[in-house]
Amino acid sequence: MSRHKKIERHKEIDRRRRRKKKRLKQRKKEAIQAAGKA
């Protein structure tokens, strides 16, 4: 396997991880807003 492909794979994994983190953060925010309304 070439170096370049390895790097590309890492980028893809990193991107997915970041997206997951973002979604978790958003959900937390929504939960806090819901708690504030309740």
Greater confidence, 19 or 1?
19
Instruction: Please state, for a pLDDT cut of 90, what percent of the chain lies above it.
Output: 79
The SS3 of residue 21 is: helix
CA distance 2 to 7: 9
Q: Is residue 38 predicted with pLDDT exceeding 80?
A: no
Chain-centre distance for alpha carbon 11: 13
Q: Is residue 1 predicted with pLDDT exceeding 90?
A: no
pTM score over 0.85: no
CA distance 19 to 3: 25
The structural domain count of the chain equals 1
Q: Is residue 18 predicted with pLDDT exceeding 90?
A: yes
**Residue 1 belongs to what domain range?**
1-38
CA distance 7 to 38: 47
